[in-house]
Structure 1
Amino acid sequence: MLTVPAPSYRYLAEKYNIKKSTLWARHRKGQQSRSKAQRLRQSQRVLTISQEKEVITCIEDSAEWGFPLRYDMLRDLVSTIAKKRNPDFERLGKNWVRRFLSRYPHLRGKMSAGLDKQRKLASTRGIFEHYFDQELIRIITLFGIQPQYISNCDEKGICIGLVGREKVIVKRGEKHPFVPQDGNREMVTILETIVAQLRIASEVVIGFFEARENDDLLPGCGFATSLNGWTNKKIFRWWIEHHFDFYTRPADPSVHRLLILDGHNSHITIDALNYCRQNNIHILCLPAHTTHRLQPLDVGMFGPLQRAYGQAVEAWSRKGYSSITKAEFFKLYDYARKKAFTPENVSSAFAATGVFPLNKNVVLDKL
C-alpha cells in the first residue's frame, strides 16, 4: 500500500494563508481554548488591564498639568507597580514602552521643546491666551473651584544678613551712601504659599540647619533641610501632603483645589502627582518664563517681602547688635512677612495676574 507523506507546515501555511508558527503550536501543543489563551496572556503581562488604565490616567494628567512623563519616568512608575503586584519582578524589557504605546494609539512619544524655543514662544500673546482659555479658566469652570481653594506656591531665597536698597538723606555730592549691615550671605529658602480671597496659607523654611518643628520661631511653619538649601523632590512631596493639604483641606473631600506653580524640576514626582489626583488637587504649571506676569507671589508679594526684610536687617544693624543668628533671622523674617503678606497685598497679587477675579485682559493688555 502506497503511503502519502504528510504535507509540510510551510506548504499548509502558504496554502491557507496561516502563520507557520501557529500551525506548529496547534499541532504540537494541542489547540487551546480562547479563554485559556487569554488567561495565559494575562498572567504574562507586567500590569493588569486595570493597572494599565491607571498608568494611562497618570500619563494624561501629568501632560495636562504641564509635567509630561519622560520614558524613564514611565518605566520607574510601572516597575514600582509591578513589584507590588509580583515581588519576584526584576525589570522591564527594553521594548516595553514601545509595545505599551502601540497598544494605546491615542498616546505617542514626542520630543519636548527646549528652553530656547519656550523663551521665544513665551513672548507671544498666544502663550498667555492659551494659558487662560485652555488651562486656568477651563479648570476653574470645569471643576467649580472656589477662590478660597485657589493657591500659589513658590520658593524665595533670603540672604540672612543683607539690607535692602532704600532712599536715605545725605549731603549733596555724596555718591555712595552706605548703611551698616551684618553681611551674612548664608541663604535660607522659604517655600511660601498664598491663597486667593484674603487668606494666607503657610510657609516652609529650607536651609542647612537641623530640621525641626518649633512654634516659638515661626508659628505654623514647617522646617526641612537639603544639601544645597533649595527645594528638592523629596521636600516638595512632603510639603504637598503634610503642609499644603493640611492647611487647605476642605471639609468636603469632594471639593476640588487648584495649585498654581512654576515648572521647576524640583516639583515633579510621580508620587506627588498621584497624591494630588487622589485628593482632588489640580496642579497648574505656568508657561516657561512667564512667572513675572502670571505668578501672584512674583508679581505682588516677594518684592514687598524683600524690602520689608531688608528694612528689618537695617534696623537691627543700626541698634549695634551682633551678627544675625538663625534664631534672630526667624524673628526678623516673621516681622517682614507680617508686614508684606497683608490681605490687601494677597488680593492685589491674584487680581494683577488675572486669577481672582478671573480676568485675562489684566495681563493681556500689558503685553
Structure 2
Amino acid sequence: METTGLETTPGTGKIQIPVYIVDIFSNDQKEALAKKIGNGRYLGKVFPLSSWLSRFLMRHSTLLLRRPQATSLSRATAFNQHNVSMFFTKLKDEIERFAIESANIWNMDESDLTTVRKPVAVLAQRGIRNLGSATSAERGVLVTLALAVSAGGVCLPPFYVFPRKKFRGDVLAAAGFGADGATNPSGLMQGEQFLKFLNHFKKYARTAPDSKTLLILDNRESHMTIAALDFCKDNEIIVLSLPPYTSHELQPIDRGVFGRIKTFYNAALEHSNDGAEKENNDEENNDPEVSAKAALEHVRPFPKAPPREPTNRGRKRRKSALLMDEDEMEALRAE
C-alpha cells in the first residue's frame, strides 16, 4: 500500500494534516486542503513525514523551513524610517556645519570576549544527540573590548576592560602597540572606564587642535555621564548617539568588525586548547583520581552555576541626540 505522508486518527478515519501547514496556509486554505484530501479535518497533532515535506518543498521552490531568530519587541519596532531619518539628518547637519572630514568621523562600540571558546561545527555520526566538546570551563571570564574606527578606514589601538580591582601593566604585554585598558570587577565598561577610553581616544584620534571630531556611539548610560560629556566639550569632540535598539543595523563596527574579530579569537582559543589537551592527555588517562571524578560526573553531574538574574533598572527611553547640546546636558544632569 502506498503512503502519502498523511495519517488518520484511530477510530475516526479523519486525516491529520501536518502541523507545518499552520505557518503556510490560512484557515480557509487548510479546510479546503483537508476536504480535497479526503473530507478530513485539521487536527495539528502530528508532524509530516520527510517524504511528504520534501515533495511539498519541491512543488513550492520559494518556501524554506527555517528557525526564526528571537528578536525583542523593542528592537523590532525601533528600527523604523522616522528614527533612522532623524539620525542621518543630524549626522548630515553636523558634518556640514563644522566641515568635518571623513578622517575625523569615528564610530565607537564595545563587545565582550570570554576566556572560554565557543565550540565549532564538527562532523559526527547520525543519531548522536549529545555531542560535547571539552573547554576550560563552562562560563569564562568576561573581558570588554572597545574599538573606534574612522570613516577613513583607520582603527585606533584597542582598549580593554579587565575584571580586576587594580590595573597592572603586564596584562597588556601582548596586546599590541598603543593598546590601553582599565579595570572593573565585573569586566564591563562603566562611566569611569569610559572616561579613560576618551583619554585614549583623544591621544590617537585628534588630528588638529582647531578641528572638530565627531564620535558616534550607542546611548548606553556609561556613555552619557556628565564627566564624559564635559571632557568631550573641552576637547572639541562632538558626540552623536544612535537611536536605541538599532546598533545591529546602524553600527558598522557591530556588523563588520566584531564578528570577524570573534571568529579569529575563537580559532586562536581552539588552537591553544588543542595543544594543552594534547600535552595533558597522558597524565589524565593514567591518573585514577581523574578517572573516578569523570565517572562520577557522568553518573551524577556536578552542580553548575545558577543562571544570571535579569535586572530592570527602569531605564528611560531615549532617542538619537547630540549629547553636546546644552538642553541634552541639562536633561542628563537632572537625571
* TM-score, normalised via structure 2 length: 0.56
Question: Among residues 158, 161, 164, which one is paired with 1:206 in the alignment?
Answer: 161
What SS is found at the alignment partner of 2:147?
strand
Q: How does 1:1-367 map onto structure 2 within 5 Å?
A: 122-133=78-89, 135-164=90-119, 166-183=120-137, 185-209=140-164, 210-214=166-170, 216-219=173-176, 220-241=178-199, 243-250=200-207, 252-321=208-277
Do the aligned partners of residues 147 and 177 (structure 1) sit closer, same or farther apart at CA in structure 2, a change above 3 Å counting?
farther
Q: CA contact under 8 A between 1:154 and 1:262: conserved in structure 2? A: yes
Q: CA contact under 8 A between 2:141 and 2:163: conserved in structure 1? A: no
What SS is found at the alignment partner of 2:194?
helix
Q: CA contact under 8 A between 1:257 and 1:281: conserved in structure 2? A: yes
Q: Deviations over 1:93-118 (max 9, x none)?
A: xxxxxxxxxxxxxxxxxxxxxxx997
What SS is found at the alignment partner of 1:201?
coil
Q: CA contact under 8 A between 1:157 and 1:189: conserved in structure 2? A: yes
Where structure 2 has 5 or more consecutive residues not aligned to the other structure, the ranges are 1-71, 281-335
Q: CA contact under 8 A between 1:258 and 1:283: conserved in structure 2? A: yes
- Measured on the aligned residues, the alpha-carbon RMSD in Å equals 2.5
Do the aligned partners of residues 318 and 118 (structure 1) sit closer, same or farther apart at CA in structure 2, a change above 3 Å counting?
closer
Structure with the greater alpha carbon radius of gyration: 1
Question: 4+ residue stretches of structure 1 with deviation over 4 A?
Answer: 116-121
Q: CA contact under 8 A between 1:153 and 1:261: conserved in structure 2? A: yes
Name the structure with the higher helix share. Answer: 1
What SS is found at the alignment partner of 2:95?
helix
What SS is found at the alignment partner of 1:180?
coil
Q: Which amino acid aligns with 2:201?
A: F
* TM-score, normalised via structure 1 length: 0.51
Do the aligned partners of residues 118 and 280 (structure 1) sit closer, same or farther apart at CA in structure 2, a change above 3 Å counting?
farther
Q: Which amino acid aligns with 1:181?
A: T
> How many residue pairs were aligned?
204
What SS is found at the alignment partner of 2:196?
helix
Q: CA contact under 8 A between 1:153 and 1:191: conserved in structure 2? A: yes
User: C-alpha distance in 2, partners of 1:150/1:213?
Assistant: 30
User: C-alpha distance in 2, partners of 1:206/1:282?
Assistant: 24
What SS is found at the alignment partner of 1:227?
coil
Q: Which amino acid aligns with 1:280?
A: E
Q: Which amino acid aligns with 1:195?
A: S
Where structure 1 has 5 or more consecutive residues not aligned to the other structure, the ranges are 1-115, 324-367
